[in-house]
Amino acid sequence: MFALALTLFMQQRLMSSTAAELANEVRIVAASLNSSPSYLSTLKRLHLDGTRITLVGSDGDVLYDSDIDEATMEDHGNRPEIEQALKTGRGSADRSSSTLGEVMLYEAMRLADGSVIRLAQGEAGYLAVLWSLAGPVALLTTTGVLVSIVVARRESHRIIEPLLEVDLDHPRRNAQNAYAEMEPMLERIESQRQELKRQVRVLADNDRMRREFTANITHELKTPLTTVSGYAELIANGLVTDEADLRDFGRRIYSEAGRLTSLVNDILTLSNLDEAERSEGEAAAATLGAREPIDVPRTLEGIVQRLEQVAARAEVTLELACEPAMVMGVPRLIDELAYNLASNAIRYNQPGGSVVLACGVEPAEGSAMRAPYIRVSDTGIGIAPEEQGKIFERFYRVDKSRSKARGGTGLGLAIVKHAAAFHGARIELESELGRGTAITVHFPVQDLPELSA
């Protein structure tokens, strides 16, 4: 910052000084030419070191130039300093040269016959001045950094020395050398040391998950709440008078409120699933509902009907490929499991793509009996191999750059994972980037007559 400020100051001072000298010179040259019988002969005898001299006629034609053959030069009537001199008798201008890294200063004065004499001189630009200061500034910066490092290391070592001497495994050993303010903390550490040793890893993992969940849910809730609050404030303050705008704002508020509702419902579902996993029997049933036989093809058919409009807007075709299958489970959870898989398949698909919802029964692993399954496959963007182990985490999105545009709460596949685990099911994922994804939920053998044959 110091170098930039000094560069600006020096460059401005140099330009001001050069411009003043150039103005004096052009007045002297103009006076000499006005008293001379021949402008050209006088100019040819005139030599000013580092200064370019140009004589321009009243019509803009270059009559003489000390550096370039005037016959090859273009019309100068449109140059700012020439135009100003023709109008007022005197003109000045400056122009930067990107190739030479300098600024050209121009001073022009109208002569007695209406022509204009112009003097030009180059002055160093910002970069040139800054480059000239690079050495001293680098030396000053290096010296300052070294001094700061030495002082900081010495002072920080003095301050933290009592902290470094504390043995956290036996904090009372060094209590006499610690700060007085640290004694209560050391006593607390000593009293809880054994307990913390046993639980430190569990607590660390739980704390990390809590912080990640809190950060994600706060972000997800804040975005629609901010939108709703903003539009509602505009309407409440009477700043929206147009009926069309009012309807549009209402539509947006309704959309964001729906997003909030969906997010809250997903959070409640996950909370119920977490609670059910920690409980058994009647307690789990009270949380999620009782298990009952579920006609899987009928459930998938209902999901297709609910998602038809969503798929049409996304230009995605929905297909059913169902065989008879029954699952003993919680209807609401099975519905959410299949719905979230289908919704994700539509959301991360390509225009003109397709989504197939399939179900049936298949031979169970290690058994001659047959078990039901639900499979949702799509022709979408696919999932990279390194991402496939993470997609069932809460708030994890594969396509982060477009996650907001695609919508969704980021909890759908987490619900699928927990709902499948609640029913003892196994999830199988097959995916290829750019080719699509197929997710199959394999349920265990059901104790139902339809599946025993």
Question: How far is the C-alpha of 90 from the C-alpha of 83, rounded, in Å?
Answer: 9
Cα dihedral 275→280→286→291 (10° resolution)? 110
Mean pLDDT check: name the lowest of 141-145, 206-210, 283-287, 295-299.
Answer: 283-287
Question: How far is the C-alpha of 134 from the C-alpha of 39, rounded, in Å?
Answer: 46
Question: How far is the C-alpha of 102 from the C-alpha of 100, rounded, in Å?
Answer: 5
Ranges of each domain in the chain: 1-124, 182-256, 289-442
CA–CA–CA angle 252, 257, 259 (5° rounding):
95
Can you give the pLDDT at residue 400?
Answer: 53
Question: Token digits for 403?
Answer: 């996650």
Locate all alpha helices (DSSP H) within 279-347, ordered by sequence.
282-288, 296-313, 331-347
Quick check: 359 pLDDT over 90?
yes
Domain 182-256 is in which class?
A: mainly alpha
Helix (H, G, I), strand (E, B) or coil at 58: coil
Residue type, 416: V
Quick check: 146 pLDDT over 60?
yes
1-124, superfamily in CATH?
Answer: PAS domain (3.30.450.20)
User: In this predicted model, what pLDDT tens digit does every residue of 197-243 receive, in sequence order?
Assistant: 777 776 676 566 667 666 766 766 777 788 788 878 888 888 777 88
Quick check: 327 pLDDT over 70?
yes
Mean pLDDT check: name the lowest of 26-30, 53-57, 176-180, 291-295.
Answer: 176-180
Mean pLDDT check: name the lowest of 221-225, 336-340, 373-377.
Answer: 221-225
User: In this predicted model, what pLDDT tens digit does every residue of 53-68 receive, in sequence order?
Assistant: 899 988 888 888 888 8
Give, in order, the Cα–Cα distances in Å from 298 to each of 151, 205, 302, 305, 452: 76, 41, 6, 11, 20
User: In this predicted model, what pLDDT tens digit does every residue of 166-192 receive, in sequence order?
Assistant: 776 766 666 666 667 777 777 777 777
Question: How far is the C-alpha of 24 from the C-alpha of 411, rounded, in Å?
Answer: 77
Question: Token digits for 329?
Answer: 């489970």
Question: How far is the C-alpha of 33 from the C-alpha of 38, rounded, in Å?
Answer: 8
Spacing of C-alpha 4 from chain mean position: 30
pTM of the model: 0.47
Contact between 392 and 344 under an 8 Å Cβ cutoff? The reply is: no
Can you give the pLDDT at residue 402?
Answer: 46
Indicate the fold that domain 289-442 takes in CATH. Heat Shock Protein 90 (3.30.565)
CA–CA–CA angle 260, 308, 406 (5° rounding):
45
